[in-house]
Amino acid sequence: MVSAGVAMTDRTLLVGTNNAHKAREIAALLEDMNVRVATPREIGIDCEPVEDGATFRDNALLKARFYSRASGLPCLADDSGLEVDALDGRPGVLSSRYAPTDPERIQRLLDEMKNVEANRRAARFVCAAALVDARSETEIVEIGTCEGEIAFEPRGTNGFGYDPVFCLADVGQTMAELTPEEKNARSHRGRALRAVQPHIASLFS
């Protein structure tokens, strides 16, 4: 079991990511739920599972199972990424591994899209949110999506990952130009987590 770096309570929900941006978005989305959100590192878990699933759903479940078993706590894990129609769905589950850093990932995407016209740049963010409690054998997965288009150049400084090049057609802004609240209200992660919330509530009831 774990050596706790922060106090755990019977309302601790482990968030199965060490990505600080994701963890912050998830904590904000769960802030009204009266649960204590902790990351693996905060409770002394330094190992990570190999994300070798074929789908977002497989990877989210694999992470939530791994961290729930390692900690003995309920775990919510998200696996997410960007699917671009003109690239046959790439980068997809490989979104975080498309290049070493966020700016390099964006540059690779823009290079691959450089000859793609404005009306063929449709894309979507996808998030699979898995809630696993190894003790009660609970396993829930919900999927959220957010439709948009790949911009021709990065705009905005909020968010993370591909946000500066993911344009929301109805508002004409990239995800990185939205406030955190505006992003959470419409993002793939916001949608998936709102669908999981009732299950979190019943786990802690």
Interface with ligand IMP (CB under 6 A): 19, 51, 79-82, 95-96, 105, 125, 159-163, 175, 187, 189
Give the nearer residue to ligand IMP in terms of CB position, either 8 or 87: 87
Give the nearer residue to ligand IMP in terms of CB position, either 74 or 159: 159
CA angle 27, 154, 80 (to 5 degrees): 40
Q: Which helix (H) or strand (E) holds 181?
A: helix 180-186
Give the nearer residue to ligand IMP in terms of CB position, either 12 or 187: 187
| Minimum distance, C-beta of residue 73 to ligand IMP, in the bound complex (Å) | 20
Q: Which of 79, 111, 163, 170 is catalytic?
A: 79
Phi–psi pair at 138, nearest 5 degrees: -75, 135
| Minimum distance, C-beta of residue 25 to ligand IMP, in the bound complex (Å) | 7
What distance in Å separates the CA atoms of residue 124 and residue 126, rounded to the nearest whole number? Answer: 6
Q: Which two tokens stand for residue 200?
A: 């979190």
Which amino acid, residue 123?
A
CB 159 within 8 A of CB 21: yes
| Minimum distance, C-beta of residue 7 to ligand IMP, in the bound complex (Å) | 27
* Catalytic-residue membership of 163: no
Q: Which residues are catalytic?
A: 79
